Amino acid sequence: MTPSTTTAPATPTEKTGARTDEAAALIGDARERIDALDDRIIGLIQERMAVSAVIQEARIGSGGRRVNLAREMEVLGHYRDALGKPGTALAMTVLELCRGRV
C-alpha cells in the first residue's frame, strides 16, 4: 500500500500566475468580477433565446419562415460594428443558440 500524498492548496500567486501577493489579490478580485459578468451574459443569452422563440412561433404561426435572414444580417452587422471582426463570430454563435428552438 502506498502512502497517501497530500498536496497543499495552491497559493494565490500560484493560482493566478502573479509574482506578488498584491497582483494576485487584484487578479483574484478581477476574476470574481469576470465570473459575475459571465453569469449575467449567460442569463441575457438565455433571455434572448426565449424572446427569439416567441418571435419564431409568431412568424411560423402566421405562415412565415422560422428564420428571417435579412434580420440576421442586421444582427451580424450590429455585432461587427460594435466589436470588430470577432463580433461577427460571436453573433453567429448567439444566432445559432437562438435558432430552431421552436
Give the residue ranges of DSSP H helices in 1-102.
Answer: 12-16, 21-61, 69-83, 85-98
Q: Residue 9: its pLDDT value, please?
A: 65
Q: What is the pLDDT of residue 16?
A: 87
User: Would you mind telling me the total number of residues written for the chain in this entry?
Assistant: 102
For residue 5, what pLDDT is reported? 64
pTM: 0.80
- Whole-number pLDDT of residue 1: 55
Q: pLDDT 10s digit of each residue in the chain, 102 long?
A: 555 666 666 787 788 888 899 999 999 999 999 999 999 999 999 999 999 999 999 999 999 998 999 999 999 999 999 999 999 999 999 999 999 765
Q: What is the pLDDT of residue 3?
A: 58
**Residue 91: CB partners within 8 Å, gap ≥ 6?**
75, 76, 78, 79, 80
Integer Cα distance of 35 and 12 in angstroms: 17
Per-residue pLDDT at 49: 96
